[in-house]
Structure 1
Amino acid sequence: MSMPPGMPLPALLVPDCTSEKAHRAAYERAKADNSIFVCITRQGAHWNVVLDVISRPLVTDEAAKILRSAVEELVATGAAAGGADYSTEYISMHQVGSEGRAREIAAAFHAAIYGLQQLQITVPLPRQSA
């Protein structure tokens, strides 16, 4: 079962891109659909989570703070024991303990980014007064 482009993926549909061929195919598909790229990859006994907004609109600074806080909390609690790389365009979390947990994290961030971007489009930020 696949989701239409531009929709958050449920955890079970987050692709396993451990092989370079699978990673390349999923990334190219997301790019062609103008979607946010998300995947998990296996590294030894652990899993990694990767999200890339590719060419989608960036989230606001306020929304980015919320996402960064969530990334930092996952690292602090050991859910991403290998740490994380984060920017407003990219999130990568390392050494997640299980495939199920990696899928859950990937799906949650994927949905959050889509939701924040949709909210930003629907409710533009008020203009700053000089």
Structure 2
Amino acid sequence: MKAHDQRTRHRLNAFRARKDTGGVNTPGLPAPGRIDSHGPAADPLPPDLVPDATGLEAFEAACKEAMQQQAVFIAVERQGPRWTVKADPLTAPQHAISTEAYEAIREAVIHLIRTRQIRPASSAGPVYFVLYDLEGEDRARELAAALHAALYGDPGPLASCLRSS
């Protein structure tokens, strides 16, 4: 495992542990967010904590972690020179996604396709979300974190990402 992946996994586990202890802040991590009416705490996931699921082993590890946490799976993956964002709410069986969240995500995906930031084969759900062919890792992580927030009921970061594009 790469050192960057180990640091990311450690920070992600600390982030999740802080949520599990009632939101007690951990040094170096953002303050706790709000509770979403559709499921568990929806703390914003910082872009640098989005797992890199490049390669089968990393993908399986990220998916297994999401299942164990009963959290929505979210990850970025390098595919050649481009990046992909993947999200799967099936790893969080008790989590319901609102109609408003689906609509915001669908509109965002349409915008990203029309502005040629992602490939038309990208998917806006309803079960699996994937954004293909993003130009760089930073943009992929930004959109992954925003997609994660939208899936937990906060479309604000996703709208902000689109304004900055």
TM bucket by the smaller chain? 0.7 to 0.9
| Residue number among 34, 49, 55 corresponding to 1:13 in the alignment | 49
Q: Does 1:85 align with 2:149?
A: no
Q: Which residue of 1 aligns with 2:68?
A: 32
Deviation of 1:78 (Å): 1.5
Bigger RCO of structures 1 and 2 (CA < 8 A, at least 6 apart): 1
Secondary structure in structure 2 of the residue aligned to 1:57: coil
Which structure dedicates a bigger proportion of its chain to strand?
1
Tell me the matched-pair count.
Answer: 116
Q: Which residues of 2 match residues 50-129 of structure 1 at below 5 A?
A: 50-54=86-90, 55-81=93-119, 83-116=121-154
Deviation of 1:57 (Å): 2.6
Instruction: State the TM-score, normalized to the length of structure 1.
Output: 0.80
Contact 2:122 2:132 in 1 (8 A): yes
Report sequence identity in percent: 34
Contact 2:85 2:144 in 1 (8 A): yes
Deviation of 1:21 (Å): 0.6
Deviation of 1:113 (Å): 1.1
1:20-73 per-residue CA deviation (whole Å, 9 max, x = no partner) reads 111101101101111011001111110000011122433232331121001111
Q: Partners in 2 of 1:21 and 1:65 — Cα distance? A: 33
Q: Partners in 1 of 2:57 and 2:101 — Cα distance? A: 33
The unaligned stretches of length 5 or more in structure 2 are 1-10, 20-40, 155-165
The unaligned stretches of length 5 or more in structure 1 are 117-130
Deviation of 1:82 (Å): 5.3
Amino acid at match of 2:97: V
